[in-house]
Amino acid sequence: MIGALPTSLTVLGRDYAIRSDFRTALLIFEAYDDPDMTDAEKAQVMLECLYTEIPEDIEEAYKQAVWFLDGGDMPKPKQAPRKIMDWRQDESIIFPAVNKVAGYETRACEYLHWWSFLGFFNEIGEGLYATVMNIRLKKAKKKKLEKYESEFYREHKEMVDLKRRYSAEEQAEIDRINQLLDGE
């Protein structure tokens, strides 16, 4: 039905209830950004978080979950986009922008469907979030920044640059090397 927001997904002809609140989607994205988790662990987190009862056909359940998290039948880019945002790092600039579009504090509401939140997110216009994303996109594509963008970047480099998160193993190696260098 036009305009319906799914609260279940169909796997092999059977409907399975899902947790469709935006917080569930963000929790799943947080797991997918965790460098300490394997791909299989990330997929397991997605299925356990999204479905109230995990379907027997895991592969189809996974495909349906990705479809839901991608916003359903929304057009997809022809090539995988470069990462220019991080839900955790950008939280402080994402929510004010989403709230401006929504007209209320989305984090304070008891329930907000993921697709409604995604709709608000996709309609973010001018503002701090859009400025940061535009600069990141230009830098990722190695395009020249406008004068005002270069100035903004210099003043807010910490906010604009995406921080890399390391796995515990990678961080231990970095710390070990730093200790060796500091000991000289």
Q: Give the span between the Cα atoms of 162 and 179, in whole angstroms.
A: 25
In whole angstroms, how far apart are CA 21 and each of 8, 27, 107, 146?
Answer: 12, 10, 11, 39
Question: How much is the pLDDT for 79?
Answer: 65
pLDDT tens-digit readout, 94-153: 999 999 999 999 999 999 999 999 999 999 999 999 999 999 999 989 999 999 999 999
Chain centroid, CA 171 distance in Å: 23
Global confidence as pTM: 0.83
Q: How far apart are the first and last CA of the chain?
A: 69
For residue 178, pLDDT over 80 is answered with: no
Closest by CA to 66, choosing from 55, 88, 78, 50, is 50
Q: What is the mean pLDDT of residues 38-45?
A: 94
pLDDT tens-digit readout, 107-121: 999 999 999 999 999
Question: How much is the pLDDT for 165?
Answer: 75
Given a contact cutoff of 8 angstroms between Cβ atoms, the answer to whether 62 and 43 are in contact is yes
Torsion 140-143-149-154 (CA) sign? positive
Question: How much is the pLDDT for 168?
Answer: 72
Closest by CA to 89, choosing from 28, 164, 153, is 164
Closest by CA to 112, choosing from 7, 1, 2, 3, is 7
Given a contact cutoff of 8 angstroms between Cβ atoms, the answer to whether 98 and 106 are in contact is yes
Portion of the chain with pLDDT greater than 90, in percent: 73
pLDDT tens-digit readout, 55-95: 999 999 999 999 999 999 877 766 666 788 899 999 999 99
